[in-house]
């Protein structure tokens, strides 16, 4: 992953970063995945506040933001004051998930900052509560001290609109709804990458958000998912919920992609699907196939209809648009 470096490290005690310019199709592979920000941020909930802190033993506001953005591939400067000089100003009514919000808490501009996570909420290092989620419009303290917001990860379109998702695209409606619900946010520059294969870590993160699971457990449960991994909290959440597990070797394989058969097992557990009545009899899923029962239940629920030739293609890898459609249908059940 290529990190975006933000220059101008200053001395102040709350840090944030800045973004480089507008994303382009030519650098598509290096675009920041916006869906990583909330899981990376929420796994630190409960960590105490520490003046000048930059580690999970204790954060100040800018130290926390810097850590979160570092995990998703963006390098930021060290202070909130410097962060406030970066990015593009956005109005309060146009905030997107991942925007930085700033406050005057000491009589000096931009003395505190947080990360906007949607629905009028931001996550930050509070001097009294540590890493916590707060209402941006709190009338007693934060609302009056709000001074503005900056967009660090480039985006110009409204939430739910993507440059690579035409209105005629087969999964347009599902992707748009998931984006508007602050679940599937796509990439920097308003791209969704619908044909890109989705990894196990990314599936865990989207499911943890969609199912509103607690992502604050940073315990290293798998040998290949350290506490510093952006999806560690989300992976622990789906593991605890019985939705996804690792292998007998103690690894989770976060960068592996999922086949359609593997995803069927995950979705059956996630949405607690029990009935096989009315399932399609797919011609390429024999009764002896390890995922036969899962695929039957997924089909019976209406989450999958398979392909026009009555196949399911269980060994095919799942891409982002296919997962979005499955997830949307599961949430609508």
Compute the distance between CA of residue 20 and CA of residue 73 in angstroms, rounded to an integer.
Answer: 12
Q: What is the pLDDT of residues 144-157, one digit of tens each?
A: 999 999 999 999 99
Which DSSP helix (H) or strand (E) runs through 206? helix 200-210
**pLDDT tens across 42-58, in order?**
999 999 999 999 999 99
> Are 233 and 39 within 8 A, CB to CB?
yes
| Tens digits of residue pLDDT in 265-321 | 999 999 999 999 999 999 999 999 999 999 999 999 999 999 999 999 999 999 999
Catalytic residue among 14, 96, 124, 172: 124
Task: Tell me the C-alpha distance between 61 and 67, whole Å.
Answer: 10
Model pTM above 0.75:
yes
Q: Taking 80 as the threshold, does the pLDDT of residue 23 lie above it?
A: no
DSSP 159-186: TT--TT--TTSTTHHHHHHHHHTTS---
Note the pLDDT of residue 42: 98
Q: How far apart are CA 90 and CA 94, in angstroms?
A: 6
Q: Which of 112, 172, 229, 292 is catalytic?
A: 112
Q: Which of 61, 96, 229, 292 is catalytic?
A: 61
Q: For residue 143, which of 109, 111, 112, 103 has the smallest C-alpha distance? A: 103
Phi, psi values for residue 265, rounded to 5°: -65, -40
Q: Tell me, yes or no, if 61 is annotated catalytic.
A: yes
pLDDT score recorded for residue 27:
55
Beta carbons within 8 Å of 190's beta carbon, 6+ residues apart: 23, 155, 156, 157, 161, 162, 163
Judge whether 14 counts as a catalytic residue. no
pLDDT per residue as tens digits for the range 72-103: 999 999 999 999 999 999 999 999 999 999 99
Per-residue pLDDT, 70: 96
């Amino acid at each position: 992953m290529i990190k975006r470096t933000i220059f101008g490290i200053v001395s102040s005690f709350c840090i944030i970063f800045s973004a480089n310019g507008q994303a382009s199709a030519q650098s598509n592979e290096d675009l920041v995945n916006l869906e990583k920000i909330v899981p990376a941020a929420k796994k630190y909930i409960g960590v105490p506040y520490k003046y000048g802190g930059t580690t999970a033993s204790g954060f100040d506001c800018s130290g926390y933001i810097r850590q979160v953005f570092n995990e998703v591939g963006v390098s930021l400067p060290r202070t909130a004051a410097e962060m406030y000089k970066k990015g593009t100003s956005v109005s309060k009514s146009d905030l997107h998930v991942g925007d930085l919000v700033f406050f005057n808490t000491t009589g000096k501009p931009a003395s505190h900052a947080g990360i906007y996570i949607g629905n009028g909420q931001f996550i930050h290092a509070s001097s009294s509560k540590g890493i916590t989620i707060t209402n941006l419009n709190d009338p007693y303290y934060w609302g009056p001290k709000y001074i503005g917001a900056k967009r660090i990860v480039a985006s110009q379109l409204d939430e739910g609109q993507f440059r690579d998702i035409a209105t005629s695209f087969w999964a347009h409606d599902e992707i748009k709804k998931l984006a508007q619900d602050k679940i599937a946010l796509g990439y920097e520059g308003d791209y969704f990458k619908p044909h890109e294969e989705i990894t196990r870590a990314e599936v865990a993160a989207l499911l943890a958000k969609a199912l509103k699971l607690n992502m604050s457990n940073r315990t290293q449960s798998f040998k290949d998912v350290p506490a510093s991994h952006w999806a560690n909290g989300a992976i622990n959440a789906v593991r605890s919920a019985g939705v996804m597990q690792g292998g007998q070797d103690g690894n989770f394989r976060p960068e592996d992609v999922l086949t359609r058969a593997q995803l069927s097992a995950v979705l059956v557990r996630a949405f607690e699907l029990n009935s096989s009545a009315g399932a399609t009899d797919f011609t390429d899923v024999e009764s002896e196939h390890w995922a036969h029962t899962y695929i039957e239940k997924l089909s019976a629920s209406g989450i999958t209809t398979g392909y026009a030739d009555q196949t399911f293609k269980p060994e095919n890898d799942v891409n982002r648009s296919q997962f979005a459609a499955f997830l949307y249908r599961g949430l609508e059940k």
